[in-house]
Amino acid sequence: MTPLLLALALVTQSTDIEREAAAGILRQIDSLEARLKPTENAQRLASRNDPARDRVLARVATVWNSELQGVSDWIGHHPEVGWHEFQAVDTLTTLLRTYGFQIDTGVAGMPTAFVARWTSPAGAGGPTLGLIAEYDALRGTQGDFHGDQHNAQSPVAFAAARALIEYMRDARVPGRVIIYGTPAEEVDPPAKTILWKAGVFKGADILVRSHSSTEARRDRPGFGVCCLNIDAVKYTFTGRPAHQLTAWNGRNALEAAVQFYSAVDHLRSTWRPDHRVQGVIPEGGIAPNVVPDHTVVDYFIRFPDEVYLEHIARMMDDAAKGAAQMTETDVAITRYGEYRDGITVSALEELFFAYAKKFGAPGLQEEKGRPAGYEETGWVSREIPGLGVTVRSSSFANHTYGMRDDTFADIGHKAFLLDAQLEAAVLFDFLTRPELRAAVTEEHRTLAGLQGQYLAALRRVYAPEIGADTALSKESRAEIRIPQVKRP
C-alpha cells in the first residue's frame, strides 16, 4: 500500500482488521475520487456567483429569524420522548400545511411519523429533494430534555424547504420536496429502519438532515455509521415463582439474568478491544419474598464493523442460553433494533464543507471523519445518497444538560440558521446542477457496489479467528414491532 493509501486507511477504517480487509477497496475508492474530483468541484460550486442561490439563502435567514427559531425553542421547552411526540407533530404538520404541503400522518403504522409532500407547479419531472426531520427528546434523571437538540432539526429542515419551494414555484423549476418526519431517534426499534422497510423513502433522489455537534466536520467516502454498528437485544428469562422460605420450589429468573450479565463481563477479554457492550436489567423481579419468575436484560452491542458484531452477538446468545440452562429457566432473545454501516458520498460531504467554510461556520475541523452514512440512517443511505450537516451548536457534549441550555443561546440559534442555509445550499445545487447530480449518482452507485466486496473481505480476514461464525441465523432475529402508544 502506498503511503497515501496507508494514511487514508488509517483514518477511514478504525480497526486493524478493517484496514487489512479494506486495502483493495480503498484503492478503488481513491481512484474514483481522483477521477470525480469532489473537493475541486465543491469549491467551484460554493465560490461561484449565483444570485438565485443567494436569494434562497437570504430567504432561509428571514424565515428562520421570523418564525422557525421560535418553533425550535418551543419544542425545546416542551420535550417529548420517542413515540410520544404528539404536540411536536401537531405543531409541525400544522405549519407545513400553511406552506402548501400535503401531509400523511401515522406513516408505516407509527402515530408520530409523517410525510409532507410538495410538487412544483412546473411538474414533478425534476429531482425529488428529501429532508429528514426529527423532534424526539431524551429521557433523563431530571425529566425529558432536548440534550441532543432534536428540537431544532425539523425547523431547520422547514426553513430550507420553504425557501426552496418558493424558488421552484417562482422560477418554474420542476421537482418535488418531501419532508420525512421521523420519530424516536433515541429509542428503539429504529424508526428510520421501519420507514425504510415500508418503502417510505423510495423516490427520493437525495436526503439531507442536520444534527447538533461540537464541531463542523465532513466525512471521508466509504462505509460507516456515526455510532458504530449496533444490535439492540433484550434477553427475557422466565422461571417459576415460589415463596422465599421454599425457594427450591421455584426457578429464579433473576439469578439467570445475573449469571448472564456476569458471563458477558467475563467474555470481554476474548473480544477485540474496539467493542462497546453495555446493558441494564430494567426488570429484575417484584418483591424480595417471591422468587422472580420474569427478568429482562437489555443490551446495546456495538462494534465498528457488522461482521465481528455478529460474532459477539452469537457468543452473547450462547451465554444467555447457558445461564438459562444452569438455572433451569427459559430465555427468549429479541433483537429489536439493528444499525448498520451506510454509504458516505464525498461529493456531498465536500460541498457541505465548502459552504461551511464560505459561511464562516464555527468549529471547523479540516481532518476528515470516518464514513458515517449520514448518521444512524445506514440502511437508507445504502439506497439513497445523502448528507448529515453538522455545525458547532454547543460547547457541551451530546446528551448533556449543557447542550440543552445552548439550544436557547446564541451558539445554538446561530448554528441552527447555518444548518438550514447549508441544507438549502446543497439542495439548491443538486436541484439546478445536472453535473452534480450525475457525480453524486455515479459515486453512490460505485460505492454501493463495493460495499458487498468489503463485507466479503472482512469475513475472509476474520475467518482464522472466528471461523464460520460470521452470521446469526435468521430464526434468531425477531420481527421488529412498533410500540403501541396511545395518544394522551
pLDDT one-digit tens code per residue, 71-126: 999 999 999 999 999 999 999 999 999 999 999 999 999 999 999 999 999 999 99
Q: DSSP letters along 272-296, please?
A: -TT-EEEEEEEE--S-TTB---EEE
How far is Cα 130 from Cα 206, in angstroms, rounded to an integer? Answer: 6
CA of residue 195 relative to chain centroid, distance: 13
Q: How confident is the model at residue 484 (pLDDT cuts 50, 70, 90)?
A: confident
Q: Grid coordinates in use for 92? A: 409541525
Residues ≥6 apart with Cβ < 8 Å to 51? none
Q: How confident is the model at residue 466 (pLDDT cuts 50, 70, 90)?
A: confident
Of 154, 178, 168, give the one whose Cα is nearest residue 67: 154
Whether pLDDT at 415 is above 80: yes
How far is Cα 154 from Cα 197, in angstroms, rounded to an integer? Answer: 22
How far is Cα 217 from Cα 194, in angstroms, rounded to an integer? Answer: 29
The domains found in the chain, sorted by start residue, are: 30-225+344-446 (3.40.630.10), 229-339 (3.30.70.360)
Q: DSSP letters along 224-268, please?
A: E-TT-EEEEEEEEEE-B--BGGGGGGSB-HHHHHHHHHHHHHHHG
409-412 contacts: CB < 8 A, separation 24 or more? 411/362, 412/149, 412/152
Q: Distance from first CA to last CA of the chain, Å, rounded?
A: 60
Bridge partners of 342, per DSSP, are 224
Whether pLDDT at 163 is above 70: yes
Of 250, 191, 101, 150, give the one whose Cα is nearest residue 380: 191
- Tens of pLDDT, residues 370-411: 899 887 778 999 999 999 999 999 999 999 999 999 999 999
pTM: predicted TM-score of the whole model, two decimal places: 0.91
